[in-house]
Amino acid sequence: EKGEYRHFMEKEIHEQPDSVQHTLSHYLDFVNGRVKPGEIDFAAVDRIQIVACGTAFYAGQIGRYAFERLAGLPCDVEIASEFRYRNPAVAPGTLAVAVSQSGETADTLASLSWCKANGLKTAALVNVHSSSMAREALVVWPTHAGPEIGVASTKAFTAQVAALLALAVTAGVQRGRIDPLIEGELVKALFEAPRLIAEAVQMDGALRGVAHELSKATDVLFLGRGAMFPLAMEGALKLKEISYIHAEGYAAGELKHGPIALVDELTPIVALAPLDEVFEKTASNLQEVAARGGPVIMIAPKAAPDPHGAGISRIDAPDCHPLIAPLVYAIPVQLLAYYTAVEKGTDVDQPRNLAKSVTVE
Ligand code: F6R
């Protein structure tokens, strides 16, 4: 039931404080500020290989940044439809992780089976806990997003990201990279995520204005660095899926290697710019596009300095710990796509040509 909401997607966006909280509680002990040891001992894992499709693939890429940074654990992420057919060379000691809302996506399931058949330990990060992937994998890592009805994934995505961030902290602790003091800090940062997500959901006023501009565009670029890069690609995917506007997500530093040629006054550029260690780099990339006439919308906390240059408008995002920025910034990204689609009058919950679960390759 949609209740007070116009679409399931809108309802599911609003459910994210709860779905993230519920998911994090599975992995973290908030009372004592500690991670919960699970069935996988990350000290005995040499590498992680994530396989996934679509939005789950972008969640996996966000996870990769966290596993490498916090746990020093090498992590590869690949689109399952490529992984399964290219005879990948995987090192023994690799933990294979399938990320999937449904747990039924054909290519992801086949990649998981391939890894298992090739002697790897396997884990399934799934929202449907009785799914084929959950049965196939050695270990099930649940997300607790609840049933997702909207075809465009929202709360399943943030639940995947939340679980991966929590697991990366766990890996860091188990591998001796994170001492108890830092563990407490990181768990506290994650504990704050639901409240900050709830704050981000209130950003809707400013975002409706931007969505009105986006609805007139034929192309939109999303930019970010670090974990904001996969989130930029997720933002572009969301916009394509439900508003049918062409969009691409780029690493902000990659723009000058080609795509900047696309920039003109008709191509809005949405930049995801939390105040992290690469903020200044992103800001200077934004000056470059603004100088070429691109209308830039910078989503950043109030405390972030203004990049010099005309044409940069700002949307204030909640201030947050860099670890949870992908969770907090996912909200404006989803709302932008949602409001743009509503503005265009497309079928938000059932976009053309798409199915909720892709069980054929
Ligand atoms: C996008 C979307 C798809 C799915 C993809 C994988 O909004 O929902 O890209 O993420 O089809 O599906 P699951 O996670 O069920 O394996």
DSSP tag of 43: G
- Is residue 195 a contact partner of residue 182, using CB atoms and an 8 Å limit? no
197 half-sphere exposure, CB direction, 13 A CA radius: 27
Q: Coil, helix or strand for 142?
A: strand
Residue nearest to atom 10 of ligand 1 (CA): 55
How far apart CA 231 and CA 237 sit, in angstroms, is 10
For the question of whether the overall pTM of this predicted structure is more than 0.95, the answer is yes
Question: How many Å lie between the centroid of ligand 1 and the Cα of residue 236?
Answer: 14
Pocket flag, ligand 1, residue 215 (CB < 6 Å)? no
Can you give the pLDDT of all 361 residues of the chain as single tens digits? 888 999 999 999 999 999 999 999 999 999 999 999 999 999 999 999 999 999 999 999 999 999 999 999 999 999 999 999 999 999 999 999 999 999 999 999 999 999 999 999 999 999 999 999 999 999 999 999 999 999 899 999 999 999 999 999 999 999 999 999 999 999 999 999 999 999 999 988 889 999 999 999 999 999 999 999 999 999 999 999 999 999 999 999 999 999 889 999 999 999 999 999 999 999 999 999 998 888 999 999 999 988 877 679 999 999 999 999 999 999 999 999 999 999 999 888 888 888 888 888 8
Pocket flag, ligand 1, residue 102 (CB < 6 Å)? yes
Question: How many Å lie between the centroid of ligand 1 and the Cα of residue 116?
Answer: 22
- Is residue 70 a contact partner of residue 245, using CB atoms and an 8 Å limit? no
How far apart CA 92 and CA 114 sit, in angstroms, is 14
188 is catalytic: no
Pocket flag, ligand 1, residue 127 (CB < 6 Å)? no
- Region of 220 (left: φ > 0; alpha: ψ -120 to 50; beta: rest) is beta
Pocket flag, ligand 1, residue 154 (CB < 6 Å)? no
Question: How many Å lie between the centroid of ligand 1 and the Cα of residue 102?
Answer: 8
